[in-house]
Amino acid sequence: MDYLAVKHAHVGFVYVSITLFTLRGLMQLAGIDWRRWRVLKILPHVNDTLLLTAAIWLAVTSHQYPFVAGWLTAKVFGLSAYIGFGMVALRRDAPLRVRLPAFIAALASVGYVVGVALTRSPTWGLI
């Protein structure tokens, strides 16, 4: 498979993932039960599986791996923060005073990951 095609697919999956998270998070904050729409329960898992599959394929093909390439290590840690904060932000039983900061932190985390991906630098090339 062509590297650029998989890279573009990966970027597309990133856009879909962030969009779906933002939509679900905003609905959660507004008190709308997004879980009643099957597509909002299933599509994020399918998309994120494709996103991760493309990421692994790109890492193996390019011979750049987390804990070897610093920028990929930063992406893994940023992604872990995004997942953790996102889980809290989308929890049904968490109070708004917990969900809102978690939602903002999740968006900041994924913003960091995108910045690292674009610059291929854990510091975004600022240092």
Report pLDDT digits (tens) over 29-73: 999 999 999 999 999 999 999 999 999 999 999 999 999 999 999
**Residue pLDDT, tens place only, 58-114:** 999 999 999 999 999 999 999 999 999 999 999 999 999 999 999 999 999 999 999
Is residue 96 assigned to a domain? yes
Is residue 125 assigned to a domain? no
Is residue 112 assigned to a domain? yes
Is residue 47 assigned to a domain? yes
Domain around 64: 3-119
Is residue 126 assigned to a domain? no
CA dihedral 57, 89, 101, 31 (to 10 degrees): 140
Is residue 66 assigned to a domain? yes
Task: Kindly state the tokens that stand for 56.
Answer: 């692994």
Instruction: Tell me how many domains the chain contains.
Output: 1
Is residue 86 assigned to a domain? yes
Give buried/exposed letters for 92-115 (b at 16+ CB in 10 A, else e).
eeeeeeebeebbebbbebbebbbb
Is residue 93 assigned to a domain? yes
Contacts with 64 (C-beta within 8 Å, 6 or more apart), sequence order: 72
Total-model pTM: 0.92
